[in-house]
Structure 1
Amino acid sequence: MASSFFFLTLLLLSIISAATPCPPSERAALLAFKAALTEPYLGIFNTWSGNDCCRSWYGVACDPTTGHVTDVNLRGESQDPMFQKLGRSGYMTGKISPEICNLSNLTTLIVADWKAVSGEIPACVASLYTLQILDLSGNRISGKIPTDIGNLWSLTLLSLGDNEISGEIPMSVVNLARLKHLDLSNNRLTGEIPYDFGKLAMLSRALLSENQLTGSIPKSVSRINRLADLDVSSNRLSGSIPVELGKMKVLSTLKLDGNSMTGPVPSTLLSNTGMGILNLSRNGFSGTIPDVFGAGSYFMVLDLSFNNFSGRIPGSLSASKFMGHLDLSYNHLCGTIPIGSPFEHLDAASFSNNDCLCGNPLKAC
């Protein structure tokens, strides 16, 4: 009897929720959002008709109980049958209308990979306090990141990569205490990385490459215990590598290539057995390469090329468990190339343009 009552209640709730259309104000907001965009090939907005935006509107999802719009998920690269049938990725022009901010219960806003959506990020987006995912990557969005982006305390993913966004990274970004994934890569950002970047305690990926960022890497980054991937390559960063980075236990990918950084490489960075991809190429690093490798060293990529390293190639490299790609070219190294399994598959290009290296695969000593 109790189980029958339970299932009857569930059925009643499903009927009620199915009959709960989205509020007219939210439907109007979506239609105004649609009016500012043009998608000529797939016809995804043809589904945005009828009085209930919770029913069959492509990319729109609602709370089943209240009818409030919770998700707007429009991605130009999709496995959706609509895309596969036409055999093409999406293309969309227009701008993101501030009307989207009238969806006050929004948890997901994705308008990504459409190639030509332009204009600025509406400042009011920072008032969507329930937002957990904001992905506007792969477009032509310009202007600045909203100053108050740090107000989005529920945000776990912020992806604005592959756009034309300029200005500085807002200081308020460090207030995104739940943020796990940050992608600001391939934009036109200037200024420095916020000095207290380490406040982003939940962050696992920070992708800031291909911008015009200056200054040094903040020491506070080392306090992000969950950070596994840090990519600040192809910027204008200077200064030395904080010694503290080499002591991070989870960090496995560090890309600093294509900057103007100087100084020695911390020995802890090369002896860290969790480090798998380390690219320090095209900087001004100098000194000797620390002789701290061992049986626990497992590098898929170790690129130290185009720097000012001098001295010998560390003999301990021979003890490495694995060395997938090693590039020591364009430095001032000298002496005999060590012998061992990590070196057997490497060609001359890995050691070229040094002062006086010799031994296999270069000429004999």
Structure 2
Amino acid sequence: MARHSLLLLAAAILAAAVVAASGCSPSDREALLGFRQALNEPYLGLFNSWTGSKCCVNWYGVSCDAATGRVTDVNLRGESEDPIFEKAGRSGYMTGKLSPAICGIDTLTTLVVADWKDISGEIPACITSLSSLRILDLIGNKFSGEIPSDIGRLNRLTVLNLADNTIAGKIPPSITQLTSLKHLDLSNNLLTGEIPENFGNLAMLSRALLNRNQLTGSIPVSISKIYRLADLDLSMNRLTGSVPFELGKMPVLSVLNLDSNSFKGLIPESLLSNGGMGILNLSRNGFEGSIPDVFGSHSYFMALDLSYNNLKGRVPTSLASAKYIGHLDLSHNHLCGSIPVGEPFDHLEASSFGFNDCLCGNPLKTC
């Protein structure tokens, strides 16, 4: 039995060696050359290696399946620790477009064309035909147009990163069909419209970054059903309405950035009493009422920012019992009364409490 297993292993190794020696699939090679022809990388010579038939062996950023010789990964990052970048002493720069030719590689699982600064044009609609795709990362370019409407066809996708481009239009409803998605970053684009109501269908999601867009409407309550969601950033949009209290009941959520929107109403107590919440930024909105007095020894905030709202009343006395508060900003509200005394406040400066109606006590003037 052992001898038979060794023979099988040797045969597999030999087959892989034969595939590697014979080069990649001719159709894959043709698709890669079409993809390369639409791009211009003038400084580092990364595409100088893209010659000959052995694209599985020597071509920069290309990886293949050892058994089949088919291309599986195209990984081109303009911000890299690769020796080529270190030797040149510069980051990457590339112009051109993302050619639909890349869609000819139907075995592609990873497509990364990231941080090249000047690649423009639209995302080819045929991208959604790559049914094996697990990672699509186009961050840091100048892609325009809209997210393909049938993006939901990529049901194996775990990472979708389109941040730092000029992509416009609405978030397509089909995006909620990406039930394997773990990381979603659409930040710093020109997206408009509302967050899809059934966003909560993305059950595997751990990070959702939609900040720095022009999104409108309210926060869908369905988001609170995403059990694994740890990081939610909706800041710097045009969102309105109240914040669902259900967000504070999420068991894993530790980072919540909702700053620079137009939210109103009361701050949900659940957001401040959640012992797992480490970074909470609700600044630059229209929140009213008092700050809920629900802190305790379970409270551990690396950053808590409630500045630039319409909050009234006193600074909660329970804040003094918090286990840790790294950064606190309650400035530019209408708070009044004495600042509580306690260890969490010992390192805070006057800027944390400035521009309120009548706060007093350390680090402000004596009451």
Deviation at 1:20, TM superposition (A): 4.2
Map 1:152-301 onto structure 2 (within 5 A).
152-301=154-303
Query: Distance in 2 between the 1:3 and 1:353 partners?
Result: 75
Instruction: Point out 4+ residue stretches in structure 1 off by more than 2 angstroms.
Output: 1-21
Query: Distance in 2 between the 1:198 and 1:20 partners?
Result: 47
Query: Distance in 1 between the 2:171 and 2:147 partners?
Result: 7
Deviation at 1:36, TM superposition (A): 0.5
Report Cα offsets for 1:34-93 as digits up to 9, x if no partner: 110000000000000001211200001111111111100000011111111111110000
For the residue of structure 1 that corresponds to 2:143, the secondary structure is coil
Report Cα offsets for 1:254-282 as digits up to 9, x if no partner: 00000000010111110000000000000
Contact 2:21 2:54 in 1 (8 A): no
Q: Is 1:37 matched up with 2:45?
A: no
TM-score, structure 2 as length reference:
0.98
Assess, with a 3 A threshold, how the Cα gap between structure 1 residues 86 and 5 changes in structure 2: closer, same or farther. same
Deviation at 1:3, TM superposition (A): 6.0
TM-score, structure 1 as length reference:
0.98
Q: Is 1:141 matched up with 2:143?
A: yes
Contact 2:20 2:54 in 1 (8 A): no
Match of 1:93 in 2: 95
Deviation at 1:7, TM superposition (A): 4.8
Deviation at 1:6, TM superposition (A): 4.4
Query: Distance in 2 between the 1:149 and 1:18 partners?
Result: 33
Which AA in structure 2 matches 1:174? T
Report Cα offsets for 1:300-346 as digits up to 9, x if no partner: 00000000000010000000000000000000101000000011111
Report Cα offsets for 1:154-181 as digits up to 9, x if no partner: 0000000000000000000000000000
Match of 2:82 in 1: 80
Assess, with a 3 A threshold, how the Cα gap between structure 1 residues 27 and 331 changes in structure 2: closer, same or farther. same
Report how many aligned residue pairs link the two structures: 365
For the residue of structure 2 that corresponds to 1:134, the secondary structure is strand
Q: Is 1:362 matched up with 2:364?
A: yes
Q: Is 1:127 matched up with 2:147?
A: no
1:322 to 297, 314, 324: 324
Aligned Cα RMSD in Å?
A: 1.0
Gapped runs of 5+ residues in structure 2? none
Which AA in structure 2 matches 1:123? A
Query: Distance in 2 between the 1:110 and 1:86 partners?
Result: 21
Gapped runs of 5+ residues in structure 1? none
Deviation at 1:11, TM superposition (A): 3.8
Assess, with a 3 A threshold, how the Cα gap between structure 1 residues 175 and 7 changes in structure 2: closer, same or farther. closer
Q: Is 1:107 matched up with 2:77?
A: no
Contact 1:20 1:65 in 2 (8 A): no
For the residue of structure 1 that corresponds to 2:142, the secondary structure is coil
2:15 to 13, 16, 19: 13
